[in-house]
């Protein structure tokens, strides 16, 4: 029997594992990870679908569009189907507010449900014109990561998938245990592959309760608010090369000040908790095969990591392609045996 090991139980690893099961029925897939569910970065992601070429540098626009459209096809279907309450996908309306005009339309503009530039009059009516001269009204999908990771894990185990909690010290450790390794270890690849192109882009989120806020707001001034089922998530910083997972009080205050100033309707929100996460950033995302050969040993690998700020948005698209690469590696092995 063909055996596949997927390293990583974040959104990229679980999506890849489920995609492989769907593309290659009958293969045995195991997920190996040292952190699962609420220990991963994926659990804290805002989960908004707004993929851009700026956030994912080094990937061609055509490739990014293909990954984004594949994900969108699935997420938008889920958000409007009877599965929405269990997969965690929600149709969500909001505003992107900028001090300076965006250069051209972002990649997602013609993918999401709706996107349009607002007039100065509309920004005045919304009460944001003093701070933001440009605004875009967007309807997209937000993914509740607590629900989605659970749903992916349920799909995986229901299809016969196995999960092992273990830290992998070196990829060669898996030699002889499977036909192909699929490496979805996010920032872990810095150590696993010695990948110096990979670095953390630190984020800090503050969860508050403000059930009267019904629209998400994203700005170009390190302030944003996203909606989840039970809370509103305030962000947004992106600190390069900062590995600390401890909330920084000064950063925290800055996030609160900016969000409450730009969106005064938050006044009265009840504080719930802070969360710090490290986006696995790489230019470009690594989605490719590698064959490590030594005189006696050959290990076939599909790498799928480094999705930075858009890992939720791109996870399904890259997972489908990772599954195709696994299929190619396996069929090359069987034809070379003939
Ligand atoms: C504050 C913040 C907000 C975000 N908001 C959004 C958003 O709105 N929209 C969006 O699209 N994206 C967003 N993201 C980005 C998104 O969260 C990430 O791109 C995505 O979660 C990366 O998923 P992953 O599976 O690659 O990594 P992770 O979730 O980090 O999972 C990595 C997995 O690999 C395992 N692993 C690593 N090394 C080893 C090892 N040696 N042995 C065994 N297992 C190993 C870990 O245990 C873990 O299971 C946000 C990120 C942050 C921090």
CA angle, 40 then 81 then 84, to 5°: 30
Q: What is the mean pLDDT of the segment spanning 164-171?
A: 97
Lowest mean pLDDT among 53-57, 281-285, 316-320: 53-57
Instruction: Report pLDDT for 131.
Output: 98
Q: What is the mean pLDDT of the segment spanning 162-189?
A: 97
**Backbone torsions φ then ψ of 178, nearest 5 degrees:** -160, 170
pLDDT at 52 over 60: yes
Which percentage of the chain shows pLDDT scores above 90? 94
The 10s digit of each residue's pLDDT in 60-70 is 999 999 999 99
175-191: b or e for each residue (b if 16 or more CB lie within 10 Å)?
eeebbbbbbbbbbbbbe
Q: Is the CB of 94 under 6 A from ligand 1?
A: no
Instruction: Report pLDDT for 336.
Output: 58
Q: Binning pLDDT at 50, 70 and 90, where does residue 338 land?
A: very low
Protein residue whose Cα sits closest to atom 27 of ligand 1: 186
Tell me, in angstroms, the distance from the centre of ligand 1 to residue 128's CA.
Answer: 33
Query: Best of 55, 280, 282, 301 to mutate for ligand 1, by most ligand atoms within 8 A of CB?
Result: 280
Contact call for residues 138 and 94 (beta carbons, < 8 A): yes
Give the H or E element holding residue 156: helix 145-158
Q: Is the CB of 188 under 6 A from ligand 1?
A: yes
**Gap between the Cα atoms of 168 and 183, Å rounded:** 11
Q: Which domains does the chain have, with CATH numbers?
A: 3-337 (3.40.50.720)
The 10s digit of each residue's pLDDT in 122-139 is 999 999 999 999 999 999
Q: What is the mean pLDDT of the segment spanning 191-210?
A: 97
Query: Best of 153, 185, 199, 322 to mutate for ligand 1, by most ligand atoms within 8 A of CB?
Result: 185
**Gap between the Cα atoms of 309 and 130, Å rounded:** 28
């Amino acid at each position: 029997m063909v055996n596949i090991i997927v390293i990583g139980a974040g959104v990229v690893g679980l999506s890849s594992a489920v995609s492989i099961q769907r593309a290659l029925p009958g293969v045995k897939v195991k997920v190996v990870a040292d952190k699962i569910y609420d220990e991963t970065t994926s659990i804290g992601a805002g989960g908004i679908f707004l993929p851009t070429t700026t956030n994912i540098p080094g990937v061609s626009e055509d490739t990014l569009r293909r990954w984004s459209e594949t994900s969108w096809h699935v997420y938008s279907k889920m958000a409007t189907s009877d599965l929405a309450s269990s997969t965690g996908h929600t149709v969500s309306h909001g505003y992107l507010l900028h001090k300076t005009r965006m250069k051209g339309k972002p990649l997602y503009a013609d993918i999401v449900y709706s996107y349009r530039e607002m007039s100065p009059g509309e920004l005045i009516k919304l009460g944001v014109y003093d701070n933001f001269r440009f605004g875009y009204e967007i309807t997209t999908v937000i993914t509740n990561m607590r629900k989605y990771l659970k749903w992916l894990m349920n799909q995986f185990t229901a299809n016969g998938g196995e999960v092992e909690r273990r830290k992998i010290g070196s990829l060669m450790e898996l030699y002889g245990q499977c036909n192909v390794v699929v490496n979805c270890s996010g920032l872990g690849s810095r150590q696993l592959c010695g990948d110096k192109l990979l670095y953390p882009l630190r984020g800090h989120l503050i969860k508050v309760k403000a059930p009267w806020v019904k629209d998400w707001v994203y700005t170009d001034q390190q302030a944003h608010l996203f909606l989840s089922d039970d809370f509103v998530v305030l962000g947004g910083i992106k600190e390069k090369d900062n590995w600390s997972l401890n909330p920084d009080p000064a950063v925290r205050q800055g996030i609160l000040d900016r969000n409450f100033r730009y969106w005064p309707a938050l006044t009265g929100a009840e504080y719930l908790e802070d969360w710090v996460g490290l986006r696995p950033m790489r230019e470009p995302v690594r989605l490719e095969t590698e064959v490590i050969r030594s005189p006696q040993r050959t290990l076939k690998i599909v790498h799928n990591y480094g999705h930075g700020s858009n890992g939720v948005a791109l996870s399904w698209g890259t997972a489908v392609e990772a599954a195709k690469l696994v299929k190619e590696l396996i069929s090359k092995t069987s034809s070379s045996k003939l």
